[in-house]
Structure 1
Amino acid sequence: MIAPTIPELVARAADHPFLGEHLAMGTGAHAKEAVARRRGVELLSAYEPIYDISVHSGAQSLTADLAMASRFGDELGYQAVTLREQNGLLAPCDAFSDTLDDPDLVAVDRMVRALHAINFLGGQQHGLLFLRVHERLLKSVKYDHGRHFSNVLVSFGLNPGRIVIELPAAAVAHRTFLGYLTKSYQRYGFKVAGNLPNAGQILSVSDTPRPDFVKMDAASALRDSMVKPLVSYAARLRIPLIFNRVTDAAQFEQLQQYDVRFVQGPVFAAQDKVV
């Protein structure tokens, strides 16, 4: 089934008691996308690709031409990034920087996640959409994590199964809490990714229920010579491992030596275009 278009989803959001106050179609250069407006600030969506580099055998060196990085793989999905316009330029921003209390943070988080889902799914983009969840939100919502967002998506005619809820490292560091969150989000139809605070923390995801993905900072794993052990252990667990924040060609080529499959990061920015 084809998802509703962005204008259709924004129209549906207008009937929502909270989202209707903040979501609208953009203007000018952003007339074809949804925007969120809060406290005089306009927020927009961008998406950083997560590549499956195993799909092309005999990959070439990136050093010669960084602009051709995308030829090395197909997209598993995209990481949502929140933007705001500053001095005529779009730049990533922290939508939570001026939130003062937990109810406000919950509201902003729900607004931003709905914004990204509408632009991504309504824009008929392929693959999975990875959405970060703020650490304080996880503590502010006492139970049934994922229920509200799942209900919103279903009411809009969208599939929660296309969404990956990305848990922060602080949540992954606590095995019991990680298990509870993973089970709760998966119960409401989402997939779950966990950011590892360090390589050894992959042991926390060995219990059931398990996240659908784990993420590790590429620079940290390379510095500590932990790429090979991480790849091996993740393969035993059958959990896809994503190395993120890959910043340059040297890191990318080192990762390739260890049969890494999924990567994302600034190294691909020269070729990648905001979708």
Structure 2
Amino acid sequence: MSFPVLQDYLARLSGAAGSTSSIWLDHEGRAQGRFFNCTLSSAFHPIRELRGGGVQAYEGLARSAAAQDQGLSLWRLLDHAASDDESIELDRLCRLLHAMNFFRQAGDDGQDLYLNVHDRLLSAVSSNHGHAFRRILDALELPLARVVLQLPAASPQQGWLLNYVADNYRRNGFRLAINAAAPSEALQILERLRPAVFKLDGRACADTDALLTLCARCREAGVALLFKRIETPATLAGLRELSATAGLNLLGQGYLLDQPRTQLADLAPLKAVAA
């Protein structure tokens, strides 16, 4: 059985709904948590290779618990109602739920789990967030090497905070994915933050020269490029053309390819991507 310590912990949570526990399992075995009297669980959005279409990773997303497979996204509603400390608590709860719900399904296939780090954590520079989350993963004997933390885009004024938080997580062994608003921004922070992945909006890919430069630099540095919000065939076609021209196997994610689901996707290559 994969991850036996996690399986044992999940077994002890079974049937805890309605108790004083803030985390429990529902009747389908999904870990759920409570925040502001809302019940939250996880959905997973596949991240695919654009050359071949296979699933390389999943992004964990917070959803309301529902009988349906998807649930509703309550993150913005809950976050806007929360103080800074409460928002950080929500962030930590969601990351724990996603790790539990992912690894109870993932087994040893090797796909990574991408977890978002809330932008309010950038201002909480006095806390060793990387160490706290690593202790949880270590206690459950979950593979740190398969967890990628997604850091938010930062304004120039927040640059030093982003550096601080990135260094904190890196020193604790985490790989990082950095959201960038444009290829030029990614190029500026490539050496400074040394991410494993850059994440860009697939809808904003008009500057082909800058993208090709970024592809070349990322290939040299061993950094992956992930394009999110792939929602139209035209966006997908443009990214596949960029991948072929740059000679780099780009990663893609979007509603054209997959919908977030509580269950992990079939690992077979997606024909729409591989075509």
TM-score of the superposed pair, with normalisation by structure 1: 0.79
Work out whether residues 125 and 164 of structure 2, in 8 Å CA contact, stay in contact via their aligned partners in 1: no
Paired residue for 1:61?
none
Work out whether residues 112 and 146 of structure 2, in 8 Å CA contact, stay in contact via their aligned partners in 1: yes
Is residue 142 of structure 2 the alignment partner of residue 163 of structure 1? no
SS in 2 for 1:80: strand
Is residue 169 of structure 2 the alignment partner of residue 185 of structure 1? yes
Of 21, 39, 50, 1:42 maps to 39
Paired residue for 1:81?
61
Work out whether residues 114 and 148 of structure 2, in 8 Å CA contact, stay in contact via their aligned partners in 1: yes
Paired residue for 1:194?
178
CA deviation string 1:41-72 (max 9, x = no partner)? 11111111111123x3xxxxxxxxxxxxxxxx
Is residue 197 of structure 2 the alignment partner of residue 213 of structure 1? yes
Shift of 1:189: 1.9
SS in 2 for 1:142: coil
* Structure 1 residues 105 and 2, CA gap change in structure 2 (3 angstroms): same
Shift of 1:97: 2.6
CA distance in 1, matches of 2:158, 2:214: 19
Shift of 1:270: 6.4
The CA RMSD over aligned residues, in Å, is 2.9
CA distance in 2, matches of 1:178, 1:25: 35
* Structure 1 residues 268 and 183, CA gap change in structure 2 (3 angstroms): same
Paired residue for 1:261?
250
CA distance in 2, matches of 1:36, 1:104: 14
Residues 76-225 of structure 1: pairs in structure 2 closer than 5 A: 76-85=56-65, 90-94=71-75, 96-125=78-107, 126=109, 127-170=111-154, 174-220=158-204, 222-225=205-208
Is residue 41 of structure 2 the alignment partner of residue 52 of structure 1? no
Residues 51-70 of structure 1: pairs in structure 2 closer than 5 A: 51-54=48-51, 56=52
* Structure 1 residues 52 and 189, CA gap change in structure 2 (3 angstroms): same
Paired residue for 1:10?
10
Is residue 235 of structure 2 the alignment partner of residue 251 of structure 1? yes
CA distance in 1, matches of 2:161, 2:13: 32
CA distance in 2, matches of 1:13, 1:152: 16
CA distance in 1, matches of 2:3, 2:260: 28
Work out whether residues 242 and 263 of structure 1, in 8 Å CA contact, stay in contact via their aligned partners in 2: yes
Work out whether residues 134 and 168 of structure 1, in 8 Å CA contact, stay in contact via their aligned partners in 2: yes
CA distance in 2, matches of 1:13, 1:149: 20
Identity of aligned residues (%): 25
Shift of 1:177: 3.5
CA distance in 2, matches of 1:267, 1:5: 37
TM-score of the superposed pair, with normalisation by structure 2: 0.79
Structure 1 stretch displaced more, 250-259 or 205-214: 205-214
Paired residue for 1:65?
none
* Structure 1 residues 177 and 271, CA gap change in structure 2 (3 angstroms): closer
CA distance in 1, matches of 2:131, 2:220: 31
SS in 1 for 2:195: coil
CA distance in 2, matches of 1:26, 1:273: 13
CA deviation string 1:154-202 (max 9, x = no partner)? 1122122211110001278855433332222122121110000222111
Paired residue for 1:68?
none
Q: Structure 2: any 5+ residue segments left out of the alignment? A: 15-19, 244-248, 265-275
Shift of 1:203: 2.3
Shift of 1:121: 1.1
